[in-house]
Amino acid sequence: MHTAFAALYERRRSFSLRLLPGILVPAAQVGFIVGPGPTRQGFGRPLKRLFPRFVMSAAARMLGCAVLLAGLLVTGCGDPKPAPQSPSVPLRIVSLGPSLTEFCFALGVGDRLIGVTESCDHPKAARSLPRVGRYDGASIEAILLLEPDLVLVPAEGLMREAAEQLGALGQPIYNVALADLDALPEVAGALGARLGVPRAGDSLAASLASRLAAVRAGRGAHAPRAVLVYGSQPLVVAGPGSFGDSLLRAAGATNAFADAPLAYPRPGWDEMIARAPQLVILSAMDAYDRETWLRFPEIPAVEQERMFAVDPDLLSRPGPRLLEGLEKVAELVQRIEASVP
């Protein structure tokens, strides 16, 4: 990390040194430098011959103050890490979450991304971008070396520590908080405004809100018991207050684990049997372990073969594709409703 800081400081020092000749040379040209000047014609005589001594003395003092003030302003009083100001429209963006990366492309600013995490694999264009972290953290040094105007950070999750470190170093960041499904359109609009594309943000927000309303309008009266499974070894399911819980309710299902003590409980198979889900939605790479589920025919969804796999990225990433996942879950719920007397 020290390497990044040293590089940033050296760039600012170099910038300061480039500015000083621009201050000194014009001052000499108007007669504020004491002593002989360059030998070019018209500017080769000692300036003390042109001005009285008292004028030269005053001018020298004025120059000293001006140069000192300019130096302080340029170098920040010797502070090697002054807080950078984010431009109103960020042109160099780092995203620390796959959902935020997808938002950038959906808003038409994917070409401004200069760094993402290893989990950012959609769309395909995101796969060729520099990696600055994983799902569980980010490299502060790698981010700073990219010199971003803005870093997008998921407010919830494992990037909180990285966000705090970046903020402490003066790096402009934008925390994106998405508490539940209903907040998705609002987040799209706010993110569009922050990235300088308010019309695109409003358009995306309107589309998401319309699709969400359409799914809710199509809900039936039965609301079958459903479970959204994130993992099978061990079992991890959507509990109360989780994003999966809001997805199930919006799709017209009753979350079989709505009264669990945790947002992401890890029930045993005995508890799964007791809760008797009528629909099982498998949303993880290891969740669709058919042989394991078939060992428990007591579960209504297993007995009636109502276990369905859905792309986990559509249900676990709170981004613009979340509505696609919701629409798939709603379709499955409606299919179950039609078969339940």
pLDDT at site 115: 97
**Interior/surface letters 115-145, b for 16+ CB within 10 angstroms, e for the rest:** bbbebbebeeebeebeebbeeeebbbebbbb
Beta strand pairing status for 131-134 and 137-138? antiparallel
CATH superfamily of 221-339: Nitrogenase molybdenum iron protein domain (3.40.50.1980)
In 235-283, where do the E strands start and end? 235-237, 254-255, 279-282
CATH 3.30.70.360 assigned to 93-211 = no
In 286-335, where do the E strands start and end? 307-309
Count CB atoms within 10 A of the CB of residue 82.
Answer: 13
Nearest residue to 52 via CA among 44, 60, 42: 60
Report cis status (omega within 30 of 0) of the bond before 234: yes
pLDDT at site 340: 65
**Cut 0.85: pTM above it:** no
CA–CA distance, 163 with 158 (Å, rounded to integer): 10
pLDDT at site 341: 60
pLDDT at site 326: 96
C-alpha 20, offset from chain centre: 39
In a structure prediction context, what are the per-residue pLDDT tens digits for the chain, which is 341 residues long? 444 444 444 444 443 433 334 433 333 333 333 333 333 333 333 333 333 443 344 444 444 444 434 444 444 444 444 444 455 899 999 999 999 999 999 999 999 999 999 999 999 999 999 999 998 889 999 999 999 999 999 987 789 899 999 999 999 999 999 878 999 999 999 999 999 999 999 999 999 999 999 999 999 888 999 999 998 888 999 999 998 999 999 999 999 999 999 999 999 999 999 999 999 999 876 656 777 888 999 999 999 999 999 999 999 899 999 999 999 999 999 998 877 66
